[in-house]
Structure 1
Amino acid sequence: MHSPRAVRALCCFWGLVLSGCVRSLPAPEEARASEAAIAAWEEQRSLAEGRLVALAERGSPAVRLRALRALARIQDPSTVGVLLKAVGDGSASVREEAAFALGVMALSWEPLQEEEKARMTRALLAAEAVEKDEGARRALLEALGRLATPDAVARLGARLSHETGELAGRAALALGVAMRQGATMANVPFARAGELLRVSQPESSRYGGAYLLANAKRAEALPGLRRCLGDEAPDVRALCVKGMGEVGGPEDAAVVGARLADEVPRVAAEAARALAKLASRCVGDCTALDALAGMAPRAEHVARGDSAAGHAWLALAQQGLPEVGRRVLVSLRRALQEALPAAVSDVARDDVLNLDCRLAAAMDRQRGVLDEVLRCGGERIPEGWRLALGLQEVARSSVSKGAVGAVRYLTHPDARVKLAALAVVSAHPVREAAEPVRALLSGADAVVAASAASTAGVLRDMRALPGVRALAERVPEEPDLAEPVASGWVALAGKDAEELLRSWLAHPHANVRRVAAASLSSLTGKPVRAPHRALPEDARRSEAAAPGTTLTFRTRKGDFTVALDAGAPLTSGNLVALARQGYFRGLTFHRVVPDFVAQGGDPRGDGEGGPGYSIRCEITRRAYRRGVLGMALSGKDTGGSQFFFTHAPQPHLDGRYTAFGEVTRGMEVVDRLLEGDTLIDVGVSP
């Protein structure tokens, strides 16, 4: 932890050293002083008037590595040149770190301009063509995938076609990430990706091939996907099942349905989700629906305390079924009700009732009307949670007839319900909503008010303009309001919104500047780039977590332990400080997406809450494998108290969300978590 005075002293000292006005310290002391200065500049988001770039270019290898990591985290496009130069460095470790940093820049929350992407692509292609070091080459392939330009995709396709083993698998994985970035896949060798799925290939290569095919959403992927549905590795077969939901046909429903009985819950969850997608394309008899109806006997597993078995049910409910599948939802709900008397504990009973309400909400989505959730859950499931859940699903409905009925919930005392009702009238605008939405603009709940501003813009309610303006003027003091308020402000004020938005470009919070630049680009039709700004010296600082610190999460379903990452000491330290305050006691895992993440830490319980401040991102080299702890974000440097745990590898999150720990004991407890599960407490050790 460095005080503002210490930061100034370090900056002044290194200004003299780098200018040659004083002799350097002995090498070990010089490295320590340099790394301390870099850490301070990084947290302040400062380039230190060129001194940080100078250390990235001329420091010792260890200092250059640390400086390159800081530049990746700061993400100022003006520093791309030094990163491009570093991919040709004489040190393999420096080249690898520079490639990683360029990949992080490619995923910047404020999109790069096309000429910047083209420049980065040329340099990365040149470096990859001659790179011999395995780690550096892997980082270069990852960076090309994150850039996702046509030339980058072409090189990755060539590597997939002509390389073997680990390198071909890495190329396939990078292509899968590029696909998620919106890259064109017209000339990708999908047949070659399918060959990586042969049992003779190492698991890492099979995973890369499966990741590409699952995310391709192209018919050419089908042969390979069918080949790996029974792969011995759960992560591989889960991806293949997932891909079948995108491109499979009626003839695939039976084999996908067989995976509902998979011994690994996340694979079964992907099967339920895939079958729901196949059912949406059914004409006439539907094998996919028949397979889903066969889940009914497994309700007894949930009642007997096997919470992880509920992931397949949750995945189905979240995906939803067309109206023709209503009979399946009815039969599954009946099975849950019949299993309820056999529930072995209050926890099991709550799981059964929560899943029943989830399926009820899926039924309400089918008809676009809040109905079934009004009667689900008995007296154990809180009304606010049920209503919010049902309204969220009505908002997703293709049927709009329930929008007028949702208006009444705009005055509900529960903020979660208000937000969900706002989502409904945003998705299905009705004039009856204008006045109650307008009233929310001046409410005490800033999150609800900001959402109302966005909804007022959708409704084109010009009478709401003064209230939206007032909220826009609050953004400099309440940065979390920026995105939804900007949406409403631009929609209602038009060109008159420009002056205030331009003032946001000078705001110290990176996300406010990002929102302003995106809004101005949309408003003016010309690209606007948010300028880089260092944080003021009095900006909130985080205390670092001590090396070796662990957290133990206590839930009603058991405990699990997380080892925190020394590479993200400030992010880790923030969670440690909150845990020691008892901040997490009684909070829920408000978001659980099977085979993806379990997310918690929100005091509001609706995904919009935090501790009242934000922390800076600390992107690390830790990959999002199964069981990794990540920081939930809504933009650059917007971390707070919300965290998530991955159920399975998530390569598209690497280099974008701070990964700062990993489950070391009790991963089976994470697998048992369902929406609404409560944290008893989070303990810190030592």
Structure 2
Amino acid sequence: MARLPAAVSAGFLLVSACVRSVPTPDVPPPQESPAQLIERIQDWEDRRSLGDGELVRLATSARDWAVRVRALRALARIQDVATLEAVLVGLTAPRNAVREEAAFAAGELAQSWEPLPEEARTALTEALVRAEASEAYARVHDTLLESLGKLATPGAVEVLTARLSPANGPWSEAAATALGVAARKAGPAAVANVPLETIRALLDPRLRSEVNVAGAYLLAASKRLDAVEALGSCLANAHPDARALCAKGLGDVGSPRDTTSLHLMLGGPEFRVSAEAARALAKLAAKCEAGAPCAPLIALESRVPLAKQVAEGRAAQGHLFLAVAQQGLPLQGRPVFVSWRKAFAEADRSAATEEAHADLAWLDCRIAAAMDRQQGTLDQVRECGFGRVPEARWLALGLHEVAQFKGQPTGAAFAVPYLNHVSPIVRGAALDALSERPVPEAMAPIRALIGGGDAVVAGLAAAAAGKLKDAEALPALEALADRVPKEPDLAEAVAGALVALQGKAAEPRLREWLKHPHANVRRVAAESLTSLTGAPVRSARVELPPETYRPPAAPPGTTLTLRTRKGDITVLLDPDAPLTGGNLMALAKQGYFRGITFHRVVPDFVAQGGDPRGDGEGGPGYSIRCEMTRRRYARGTVGMALSGKDTGGSQFFFTHSPQPHLDGRYTAFGEVIQGMDVVDALMEGTVIDDVIVGTRAP
């Protein structure tokens, strides 16, 4: 450094002597610790904020790798296409953990609730393909393959197809699963060029069972007509999940000639396999020639003795009947339903417990409603359930089923009187039926419901008015639209009705919704405007206001034990989703779940509960943000039910079997650690007596 001249030096000494009297320049604040930075990231994530660019900076260049990983996780959960470049930068980071988190974030962007623009999909495909080609670390490579499946572009499918071989190679399982996810997302045509022999090789019983299951998942999702033989052979696989998947696939592409192999799977000890086989037979029954003997129906009728097992307390055997009722049978299958109902009535006389009585009564109503769906009239459910099923339940069920009638429309005037029913779930079901088969006499009572106090019914009424093209409903609809800013759950139904009744005049209001803090309102507005204008419309990210509800965080090791009359189910909450688990923990401590039922059970898929209404439309009156985790949906995973981004509340579900297409789409926040047999036995209507909060011993 150059020396100062002597005169200047003397002056400097004088100034130095008086330094205490001169203000000092601003001192930079002390550098935040990694823990402090991670706490800030959590806050930004929960507010859906980028921290004025600070979150992106930390995701791309934070000194501490753990901070960078946590910032990338926040970007994955926020899902803002504007952060794509920051995510792609992470794919080339020197640290394995950072690349893995960036790969996960890329997959989350790929399956955003509001689809990515085409140019972003192209950029993401190119970056993932480059990263996959050079990645040496196994965990990162698996995550890259998973994200390529979520992306489901032709370039992604090409890479995944190449990684299927050899069947005993390191990437075949992940690639097959990812291709199955791609088929679920983009349709079977997306994987039509994957060689069948390559897929069949994955089903070799000498391979690991995980590879077999992945191959079966891909084979079933591909729905290819040339795969019937491969699916039939797979029914003998040692792994129950592989057998169930191949039964499902055979139901989609097989024929009544495939009955024998499926018949052998009915009523076995693996209840989900039995239910899947029964559902497949119900699908194949629809392919039988009218008037000719139908092998699938004969096979299903032979399962009458299972009703007695339900009466003895083996409720999981009832999933076979439930699966067929949900799938439905052609009119030719009516005698099967009649014989099953007779068996339920007989078994009910000797049922061992009140819970068995309840299961048989509900199965009887389920079959009765399926019979009503066959003819499009509300008839059989009127005498179902041996007097044990409340009117609101059987009536709502019957109306929903009749709405699915596939025959010639006969009108739905019979549903009009139920628009005034005392039960909101019946009013909602009547609106469902009338939406499918509108009748002019429904217009006036539907208008009245649009202005009612029940937001769910009001939204359904608005949707029905839109389908009826009832211009006189417009004033009530506009008043309901005014409620959307404070009642975001109304957005989807109201937007559809506005577009139907107002056309272009709805555009200004929908554009206002693009700025709403609730992500799902913005998504609905963008989709509606895209449909209305014919040009792609996207919403922008909006930070949540400070007063938005934030649940307490569940401490690590927190458990929730669901007490039901079938037994207890204990769930260990995932520390990677502390707010989602904490939300249910807080509700449980309030006694919120006492008396609430499992309102939805889909055999070999999910059992869903937590809705105080009981029809799948209810919640606690607020919504929480999604916390996507790396936990995969395996058998016994606990997930948060959603109707769009950041719409979680009190509804949760258990998975009966692996469901890879849910991974990273619905918050997975725990696993069943005790009571999976009880999960298998859950039926629609099973009551939750209480939920107890506990702690797992270290």
Q: Normalised by the size of structure 1, how large is the TM-score? A: 0.95
Question: Which among 457, 460, 466 is matched to residue 451 of structure 1?
Answer: 460
Q: Match of 2:562?
A: 553
Alignment of 1:47-126 (within 5 A): 47-59=50-62, 60-126=64-130
Question: Which among 130, 139, 142 is matched to residue 143 of structure 2?
Answer: 139
1:568 aligns with 2:577: yes
Residue 433 of structure 1 and its aligned partner are, at CA, apart by: 1.2
User: Would you say the 8 A contact 2:168–2:207 is kept in 1?
Assistant: no
User: Would you say the 8 A contact 1:194–1:223 is kept in 2?
Assistant: no
Q: Deviations over 1:635-666 (max 9, x none)?
A: 11100100001011110000010000100001
Task: Give the Cα separation in 2 of the matches to 1:344 and 1:250.
Answer: 37
Q: Deviations over 1:438-465 (max 9, x none)?
A: 1111111111011100110000000001
User: Would you say the 8 A contact 1:193–1:224 is kept in 2?
Assistant: no
Uncovered stretches (5+) of structure 1, i.e. residues with no partner:
1-19
Task: Give the Cα separation in 2 of the matches to 1:169 and 1:303.
Answer: 41
User: Would you say the 8 A contact 1:630–1:644 is kept in 2?
Assistant: yes
Task: Give the Cα separation in 2 of the matches to 1:445 and 1:261.
Answer: 43
User: Would you say the 8 A contact 2:451–2:476 is kept in 1?
Assistant: yes
SS in structure 2 opposite 1:332? helix
User: Would you say the 8 A contact 1:586–1:681 is kept in 2?
Assistant: yes
Alignment of 1:217-228 (within 5 A): 217-228=223-234
Q: Match of 2:10?
A: none
Q: Deviations over 1:27-80 (max 9, x none)?
A: xx6211110110111011100111000001111211111000000000010001
Rate the CA distance shift 1:145–1:290 in 2: closer, same or farther, 3 A: same
SS in structure 1 opposite 2:113? coil
Q: Deviations over 1:283-309 (max 9, x none)?
A: 122110100001111110001110000
Task: Give the Cα separation in 1 of the matches to 2:207 and 2:168.
Answer: 9
SS in structure 2 opposite 1:554? strand
Alignment of 1:238-637 (within 5 A): 238-283=244-289, 284-399=292-407, 400-401=409-410, 403-637=412-646
Rate the CA distance shift 1:524–1:397 in 2: closer, same or farther, 3 A: same
User: Would you say the 8 A contact 1:166–1:204 is kept in 2?
Assistant: no
Q: Match of 1:678?
A: 687
Amino acid at match of 1:42: E
SS in structure 1 opposite 2:549? coil
Amino acid at match of 1:57: T
Q: Match of 2:21?
A: none
Task: Give the Cα separation in 2 of the matches to 1:294 and 1:541.
Answer: 53
Task: Give the Cα separation in 1 of the matches to 2:515 and 2:410.
Answer: 44
Task: Give the Cα separation in 2 of the matches to 1:33 and 1:559.
Answer: 40
SS in structure 2 opposite 1:474? coil
SS in structure 1 opposite 2:392? helix
User: Would you say the 8 A contact 2:642–2:666 is kept in 1?
Assistant: yes
Q: What is the RMSD of the two structures over their aligned residues, measured on CA atoms?
A: 1.2
Q: Deviations over 1:484-526 (max 9, x none)?
A: 1111111101111011111111111111111111111111111
Task: Give the Cα separation in 1 of the matches to 2:603 and 2:297.
Answer: 20
Alignment of 1:205-216 (within 5 A): 205-216=211-222
1:168 aligns with 2:172: yes
User: Would you say the 8 A contact 1:490–1:523 is kept in 2?
Assistant: yes
Q: Deviations over 1:104-160 (max 9, x none)?
A: 111111111111111100000011011111001100101110000111111111111
Residue 435 of structure 1 and its aligned partner are, at CA, apart by: 1.2
Q: Match of 1:33?
A: 36
Residue 24 of structure 1 and its aligned partner are, at CA, apart by: 5.8
Task: Give the Cα separation in 2 of the matches to 1:388 and 1:593.
Answer: 18
Task: Give the Cα separation in 1 of the matches to 2:251 and 2:645.
Answer: 33
1:232 aligns with 2:235: no
Aligned residue pairs, count: 664
Amino acid at match of 1:623: R
Rate the CA distance shift 1:201–1:162 in 2: closer, same or farther, 3 A: closer
Q: Deviations over 1:82-104 (max 9, x none)?
A: 11111111111111111111111
Residue 233 of structure 1 and its aligned partner are, at CA, apart by: 1.2
User: Would you say the 8 A contact 1:454–1:487 is kept in 2?
Assistant: yes
SS in structure 1 opposite 2:349? helix
Residue 378 of structure 1 and its aligned partner are, at CA, apart by: 2.3
User: Would you say the 8 A contact 2:267–2:306 is kept in 1?
Assistant: no
* Higher CA-based Rg: 2
Residue 231 of structure 1 and its aligned partner are, at CA, apart by: 1.4
Q: Match of 1:129?
A: 133
Residue 567 of structure 1 and its aligned partner are, at CA, apart by: 0.4
Q: Match of 2:198?
A: 192
Amino acid at match of 1:78: A
Amino acid at match of 2:217: Y
User: Would you say the 8 A contact 1:613–1:640 is kept in 2?
Assistant: yes
User: Would you say the 8 A contact 2:192–2:222 is kept in 1?
Assistant: no
User: Would you say the 8 A contact 2:267–2:317 is kept in 1?
Assistant: no
Task: Give the Cα separation in 1 of the matches to 2:665 and 2:114.
Answer: 12
SS in structure 2 opposite 1:378? helix
Task: Give the Cα separation in 2 of the matches to 1:215 and 1:294.
Answer: 29
User: Which range moved further: 212-221 or 633-642?
Assistant: 212-221
Amino acid at match of 1:65: V
User: Would you say the 8 A contact 2:601–2:682 is kept in 1?
Assistant: yes
Percentage of pairs with the same residue = 57
1:43 aligns with 2:76: no
Amino acid at match of 1:196: L
Q: Match of 2:5?
A: none
Task: Give the Cα separation in 2 of the matches to 1:208 and 1:200.
Answer: 14
Task: Give the Cα separation in 2 of the matches to 1:161 and 1:408.
Answer: 61
SS in structure 2 opposite 1:419? helix
Q: Normalised by the size of structure 2, how large is the TM-score? A: 0.94
